[in-house]
Structure 1
Amino acid sequence: MAAKDTYHDAVKNALIKDGWTITADPYPLEYEDVELYPDLAVEKLVSENQKQRKIIVEIKSFISPSLIKDFQNALGQYILYRDLIQLSQDEYQEIYLAIKDEIYETFFQRKSIKAVVKLNQLALVIINTEKEEIVQWIN
């Protein structure tokens, strides 16, 4: 298993503050001959219909000297996890990429990045890591 991202605990705490229950840290995702480990599996009771919402959250810190390289890696990992979730018919059918609010407000506002996010239908959860709070869900 890979090392935890820099903001792992801040994202986890933000989700807990928002009423989510952490069910796995990390989450073992298996399909055929592959076993991978997205960062978190979380659940929350949705009040409208008293249904349990289950999602996977992959955390990315974007702290290397090349944000484009970080984005390439995050995008590839996100797509791989999303596809394996669909193929395995896993109980967790949604995946979100958790990123720091400052990265979203700067790097993710670039036209090229916005276009790729839209094209690949990335679901994002934006986190204020200092306050350990969810700023926005985007899907």
Structure 2
Amino acid sequence: MPAKDLYHDQLRNALVKDGWRITHDTYQIKFKEIKLYADLAAESMFAAEREQEQIVVEVKSFLNASRVRDFEAAIGQYILYRLYLSQVFPQAVVYLAINSNIYRSFFLRPAIKFATTELKINLIIFNVQQEVIVEWIRS
């Protein structure tokens, strides 16, 4: 099983504060002969007339020298997770979680914003220090 991301625990706490119940702290995605591991799975109950929402979240810290390389790796993981989950857990919505500083300094760049929009990447923006969700961006 892969090591947890640096901000794994802060995101987990932020999701709980936001009303989510963590169902898996490291979620195994098994499709045919492949096993992948997303950071978290969670669910939230909304109003009685609405269905339960379930999410699978991959958190990334973007701490390497090349944020573009980190972005390439994160997007590759995200797309594989979304593809395989569409077959084995189709009701789950996949999110990439990033801290608010990285969002402002990197994800708002035109080329990065274009990629996340075109690839329909769902984002959770969270504040690492306060352990709170700042914004949900659903494509």
- Aligned residue pairs total 138
The aligned residue for residue 106 of structure 1 is 105
Give the fraction of aligned pairs with identical amino acids, expressed as a percent. 44
Taking the aligned partners of 2:60 and 2:91, their CA distance within structure 1 comes to: 19
Cα distance, 1:50 vs. partner? 4.3
Residue type of the partner of 2:70?
D
Q: TM-score, normalised by structure 1?
A: 0.95
Taking the aligned partners of 1:107 and 1:30, their CA distance within structure 2 comes to: 31
Residue type of the partner of 2:37?
Y
Q: Deviations over 1:33-88 (max 9, x none)?
A: 11111100000101262421111011000001110000000000000000000122
- Residue pairs, 1:38-53, within 5 angstroms: 38-47=38-47, 49-53=49-53
Cα distance, 1:93 vs. partner? 2.1
Structure 1 residue 54 and structure 2 residue 50: aligned? no
Q: TM-score, normalised by structure 2?
A: 0.95
- Residue pairs, 1:21-100, within 5 angstroms: 21-47=21-47, 49-88=49-88, 90=89, 92-100=91-99
Partner secondary structure for residue 135 of structure 2: strand
Q: Deviations over 1:89-136 (max 9, x none)?
A: x15421000000000011001110011001100000000010000000
Residue type of the partner of 2:66?
S
Contact 2:11/2:126, CA 8 A, preserved across alignment:
yes
Taking the aligned partners of 1:74 and 1:12, their CA distance within structure 2 comes to: 18
Q: In angstroms, what is the RMSD of aligned CA positions?
A: 1.1
Provide closer, same or farther for how the CA distance between residues 21 and 91 of structure 1 changes in structure 2, counting only shifts above 3 A: farther
Contact 1:54/1:91, CA 8 A, preserved across alignment:
no
Structure 1: 5+ residue stretches without partners: none
